[in-house]
């Protein structure tokens, strides 16, 4: 008997290519959208959210939207950055948020401001289409403008363009109001069909050796291989994805497997074919088991490869081995490929806003506006200012100091190498705090490291408000995952290179006790580590220093509902 399709599948099929009732509801003088429209708005890059703090306090709650701008490779010009910045005041909540996939998010956008926002972005050649939803999301790429990065960025933009939905709905609803399709010229979605993908699909690109993008967490990761004559091609990784769903035993984080090697000329066809395999074979009855990783796992890698080969009509070349030297972000001052400078700056939790003594938003606006330097957002929620001339470097360094924008080395190591998802108060799925408690928790873990004499030790730490893992906690050396009200699961032993998942170290830990429970493991690490051994490597080698002994991998964890 055929399995029942999920409600989301029916919604997509009946949406007339993502139109639904969005346009009609936009014209109504009520603050929010209906459930069906909210489901389709995701494909337009918008999530309607309510302030859960206000609701809890019994205050009037007006729905607003998170709006995500997909930016392939995280690259924007100075002019585009300044437009994003001005929109933060005009229609947002006075800040920009860099996401873990190099997008920019606005928060608390009122319904009446959505058309203005999209139209202004469109004029600036920016788009929210397919930033969310069951489609290929923003294509990420290592943003450092070195080692022929321009070539990889071009691949990111080309793939992003090729894999966008074809529907005119976005332009019709938000931009020009013109209906493109008439009864005679029927609109089609050649790649996605009527029901798009079973679930979101993530693609990332990086050069071999530099895993700043967490390439194994993607549905498809493309790792560039170079030879004497430049770019030889890509090792294609498939089936990564770090989310898991509370209460769904079979769901789990997974790192991608190496599928094949492709030349630069072949890469578009191969990636599109893999997207089609997901479209046709992904789970359409249970969204929690619908990512490509479950297709790969269910078929086995060899059968998955055979499926791709059958559709391409040719054999794929075997994948080559990969080596990784770094998983760090690109902080500090560096020369780029053209002989100019770029500087990587930390942005805690990706929040570009002025708050307290921090004037990061004003400072970036001043620097970008004055020196017309370009901007890149990183997958670790930080920012690069690029194309800086020798003559500008001193003045920009001075401006950074004036606005109190610190260099990464000035931050405590744990905070420097941290990620947090937004969680409360706006994410509807959050069960615990994440971003709002990151400074406090990272300071407590740092204090424990300081106390055992490891004050300069780098340790990657990531925290999320639920098991969906938007800030990729499962590949961190310390991953802190919200489990139920004020209780967290602590993972440890992920690799600083992003090549290994952590294991559960402690379960059901109160927020106030996170640093305390880590204390014996950190002491063990200090006493028994090998020369230059990272915390994650130590935990993996010694099973947390033989403490505790009953640890398990995340895929073995049964998460409570």
Binding-site ranges for ligand SF4 (CB under 6 A):
421-423, 427, 429-430, 434, 464-466, 468-470
Strands 374-377 and 383-388: antiparallel
Catalytic member of 12, 101, 108, 202: 202
Cis peptide before 481 (omega within 30 of 0): no
Tokens representing 427 are 């994410």
Q: Could you confirm whether 539 is annotated as catalytic?
A: no
Residue found under tokens 């560096």: 334
CB 474 within 8 A of CB 494: yes
Nearer Cβ to ligand SF4 (47/234) = 47
**144 CB-near residues (< 8 Å, 6+ apart):** 210, 212, 330, 334, 342, 344, 384
Opening angle at CA 61, ends 60 and 66, nearest 5: 160
CB 195 within 8 A of CB 12: yes
Catalytic member of 12, 19, 42, 68: 68
Question: Would you list the DSSP string of 184-244?
Answer: SS----TTT-TT--SS-B-EEEEETTB-TT-GGGSSEEEEEEEETTEEEEEEEEE--B---
Nearer Cβ to ligand SF4 (183/561) = 561
Q: Could you confirm whether 421 is annotated as catalytic?
A: yes
Nearer Cβ to ligand SF4 (364/427) = 427
Tokens representing 469 are 């893992």
Shortest Cβ distance from residue 480 to ligand SF4 (Å)? Answer: 11
Catalytic member of 141, 212, 421, 539: 421
Shortest Cβ distance from residue 379 to ligand SF4 (Å)? Answer: 15
376 in helix, strand or coil?
strand
Shortest Cβ distance from residue 91 to ligand SF4 (Å)? Answer: 21
**276 CB-near residues (< 8 Å, 6+ apart):** 191, 311
Shortest Cβ distance from residue 253 to ligand SF4 (Å)? Answer: 12
Q: How far is CA 189 from the centre of its chain?
A: 26
Catalytic member of 132, 141, 212, 466: 466
545 in helix, strand or coil?
helix
Nearer Cβ to ligand SF4 (38/82) = 38
Shortest Cβ distance from residue 482 to ligand SF4 (Å)? Answer: 7
**227 CB-near residues (< 8 Å, 6+ apart):** none
Shortest Cβ distance from residue 333 to ligand SF4 (Å)? Answer: 32
Q: Could you confirm whether 401 is annotated as catalytic?
A: no
Shortest Cβ distance from residue 248 to ligand SF4 (Å)? Answer: 14
Q: Could you confirm whether 202 is annotated as catalytic?
A: yes
Strand order in the sheet with 418-420: 418-420, 461-464, 478-484, 487-492, 503-510
Nearer Cβ to ligand SF4 (264/425) = 425
Strand order in the sheet with 203-207: 140-141, 203-207, 220-227, 230-238, 257-262
Catalytic member of 42, 108, 137, 293: 137
Nearer Cβ to ligand SF4 (266/435) = 435
Strands 46-49 and 461-464: unpaired
Nearer Cβ to ligand SF4 (100/128) = 100
Nearer Cβ to ligand SF4 (319/352) = 352
The secondary structure of the chain in percent helix, strand, coil, rounded to multiples of 5, reads 35, 20, 45
d(CA 301, CA 59): 52
Shortest Cβ distance from residue 494 to ligand SF4 (Å)? Answer: 16
Q: Could you confirm whether 470 is annotated as catalytic?
A: yes
Catalytic member of 12, 168, 200, 500: 200
Question: Would you list the DSSP string of 439-463?
Answer: HHHHHHHHHHHHHTT-TT----EEE
Nearer Cβ to ligand SF4 (109/124) = 109
Shortest Cβ distance from residue 30 to ligand SF4 (Å)? Answer: 26
Catalytic member of 142, 212, 260, 427: 427
Widest CA span in the chain: 75
**102 CB-near residues (< 8 Å, 6+ apart):** 71, 72, 73, 74, 138, 140, 141, 143, 376, 377, 378, 379
Q: How many CB atoms lie within 10 A of CB 455?
A: 12
- Please state whether 349 falls in left (phi above 0), alpha (psi between -120 and 50) or beta: left
> What are the residue numbers of the active site?
68, 137, 200, 202, 421, 427, 466, 470
């Amino acid at each position: 008997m055929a399995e029942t399709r999920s409600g989301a599948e029916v919604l997509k099929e009946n949406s007339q290519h993502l139109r639904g009732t969005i346009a009609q509801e936009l014209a109504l003088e009520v603050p929010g959208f209906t459930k069906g429209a909210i489901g389709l708005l995701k494909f337009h890059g918008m999530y309607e959210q309510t302030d859960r703090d206000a609701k809890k306090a019994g205050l009037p709650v007006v729905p607003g939207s998170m709006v995500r701008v997909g930016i392939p490779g995280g690259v924007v010009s100075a002019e585009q950055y300044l437009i994003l910045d001005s929109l933060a005041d005009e229609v947002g909540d006075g800040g920009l948020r860099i996401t873990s996939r190099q997008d920019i998010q606005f928060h608390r956008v009122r319904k009446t401001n959505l058309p203005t926002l999209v139209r202004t972005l469109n004029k600036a050649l920016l788009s929210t289409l397919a930033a969310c939803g069951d489609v290929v999301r923003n294509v990420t790429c290592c943003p450092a403008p070195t080692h022929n990065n321009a070539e990889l960025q071009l691949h990111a933009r080309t793939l992003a363009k090729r894999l966008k939905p074809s529907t005119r709905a976005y332009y019709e609803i938000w931009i020009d109001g013109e209906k493109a399709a008439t009864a005679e010229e029927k609109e089609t979605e050649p790649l996605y069909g009527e029901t798009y993908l079973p679930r979101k699909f993530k693609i990332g690109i990086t050069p071999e050796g530099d895993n700043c993008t967490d390439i194994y967490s993607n549905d498809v990761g493309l790792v560039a291989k170079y030879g004497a004559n430049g770019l030889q091609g890509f090792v294609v990784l498939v089936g990564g994805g770090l989310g898991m769903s509370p209460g769904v035993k079979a769901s789990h984080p997974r790192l991608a497997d190496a599928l094949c090697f492709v030349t630069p000329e072949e890469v578009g066809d191969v990636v599109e074919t893999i997207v089609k395999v997901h479209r046709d074979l992904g789970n359409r009855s249970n969204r929690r088991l619908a990512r490509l990783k479950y297709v790969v796992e269910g078929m086995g890698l060899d059968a998955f490869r055979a499926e791709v080969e059958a559709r391409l009509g040719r054999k794929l070349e075997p994948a080559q081995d990969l080596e990784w030297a770094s998983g760090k972000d690109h902080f500090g001052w560096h020369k780029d490929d053209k002989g100019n400078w770029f500087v990587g700056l930390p942005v805690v939790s990706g929040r570009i806003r002025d708050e307290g003594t921090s004037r990061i938003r004003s400072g970036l606006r001043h620097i970008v506006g004055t020196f017309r330097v370009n901007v890149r957002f990183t997958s670790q929620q930080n920012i690069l200012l690029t194309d800086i001339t020798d003559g500008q470097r001193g003045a920009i360094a001075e401006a950074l100091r004036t606005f109190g924008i610190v260099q990464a080395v000035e931050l405590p190591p744990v905070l420097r190498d941290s990620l947090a998802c937004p969680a409360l108060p706006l994410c509807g799925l959050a069960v615990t705090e994440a971003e709002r408690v990151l400074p406090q928790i990272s300071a407590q873990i740092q204090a424990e490291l300081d106390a055992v004499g490891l004050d300069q030790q780098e340790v990657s730490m990531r925290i999320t408000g639920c098991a969906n893992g938007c800030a990729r906690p499962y590949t961190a050396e310390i991953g802190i995952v919200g489990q139920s009200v004020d209780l967290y699961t602590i993972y440890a032993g992920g690799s600083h290179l992003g090549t290994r998942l952590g294991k559960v170290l402690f379960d059901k830990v109160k927020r106030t006790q996170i640093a305390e429970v880590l204390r014996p493991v950190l002491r063990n690490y200090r006493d028994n580590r090998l020369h230059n051994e990272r915390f994650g490597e130590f935990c993996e080698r010694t099973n947390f220093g033989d403490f505790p002994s009953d640890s398990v991998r995340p895929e073995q964890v049964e998460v409570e509902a």
